Amino acid sequence: MAQPLVSVVIPHWNGVEVLSECLESLSETKYPNMEIIVVDNASTDGSPDWVSLNFPQVKLIENDRNYGYAGGCNRGAKVAEGEYLVFLNNDTIQDHHWLAGLADFMNLNSNVAAVQPKILNFFERTKFDYAGGAGGWLDVLGFPFVRGRVFLERETDKGQYDKLRPIFWASGTAIMVRKSDFETAGGFDEIFFAHQEEIDLCWKFHLMGKEVWAIPNSTLYHKNAVTLPMFTRMKQYLNHRNSYLMVLSNYSLPITLYLAPIRFALELVAALYAIVRLDLNHLLGIIQAQLWILFHPHVIFHRRKKVRQIRKIKDKKVFQRLYWGSVVFDYYIRRKKTSAEIIPE
């Protein structure tokens, strides 16, 4: 079977030493038809000059400012020539054969819009990484979790998720998409800036009647939270805002009106939990997220309009691919610590 051109798009902002390891690893990838595009989001550490000098074969885009993960990827996609696009974090190291497994599956399954590899932690290589694990799930209230990691509980990889299977979302750490489907969906929503924009994209793929799969025979290793460290106020803000924004705009209006108040109540519970733990960053992130939602109804209206334009299936069918429950309740109250306890494999 012919191997189509794959465009690997790497959004980057500072940390040339991290990018260098990623590009060195990519140079060992055993796939004959690949182009690499580095999208520099106005780095201040000389990254563009370093890429031009050391990897002249790499396409380099130099942005005038930091457009975040979403904006950087969109700008890379515009110049990409591949039938398939891979959006790849700059803090990853890849198995030599990681790309072929993803592309082969896409070649054989025309209704699949996106796939992801198994993502293990770079520093603890027997454990799943926080960002993506073996494929993402989403509960109906918009809270994400992954096969191999629920909140801060990470599992050791013992082959328990080595089954090819459909998932709800593929991780932006390393997501391969069909370029035609990516363009139909409108690309990443740049309002998200960073965090959960890939979940939003995959939700749109489902609304288009497409599928998303996890491909466990493809593997890479992720250093996790190098660009934006965990537990910062900005990360908390983006996670809460973007997750709630999806609930308010990706469902039909009746479902939105039913679920949005429940989700808001959980936001209040999260705020109280942050107060009890004296976690100021988390508390301020939640407050900032809720204020943003309150003062940007026009953004929600615009997103809902775009979703209606691409929607081909009803929420009833999307519910079949979501977890009809609350991962927050299952984790904190029912004490379920693995994704397999929540959704059996």
Whether 185 and 275 map to the same domain: the answer is: no
Query: Is the four-CA dihedral 272, 274, 276, 279 of positive or negative sign?
Result: negative
Among 222, 242, 262, give the residue marking a domain's end.
222
In whole angstroms, give the CA distance from residue 182 to residue 85.
9
pTM of the entire predicted model = 0.96
In tens, the pLDDT along 193-235 reads: 999 999 999 999 999 999 999 999 999 999 976 655 666 899 9
- Quickly tell me which residue has 């790499």 as its tokens: 58
Would residue 31 count as lying in a domain? yes
Would residue 113 count as lying in a domain? yes
Would residue 208 count as lying in a domain? yes
User: In CATH, what number is assigned to the domain containing residue 122?
Assistant: 3.90.550.10
In tens, the pLDDT along 15-74 reads: 999 999 999 999 999 999 999 999 999 999 999 999 999 999 999 999 999 999 999 999
Whether 72 and 172 map to the same domain: the answer is: yes
Whether 206 and 89 map to the same domain: the answer is: yes
Among 189, 222, 255, give the residue marking a domain's end.
222
For 277, the domain range is 233-313
Q: What's the total number of domains in the chain?
A: 2
Would residue 337 count as lying in a domain? no
In tens, the pLDDT along 295-306 reads: 999 999 999 999
With a CB cutoff of 8 Å and minimum separation 6, the contacts of 309 are none
Whether 294 and 152 map to the same domain: the answer is: no
Whether 108 and 193 map to the same domain: the answer is: yes
Would residue 343 count as lying in a domain? no
Among 222, 248, 263, give the residue marking a domain's end.
222
Would residue 134 count as lying in a domain? yes
Whether 17 and 159 map to the same domain: the answer is: yes
Would residue 114 count as lying in a domain? yes
Would residue 340 count as lying in a domain? no
Identify the three-state secondary structure at position 38.
strand
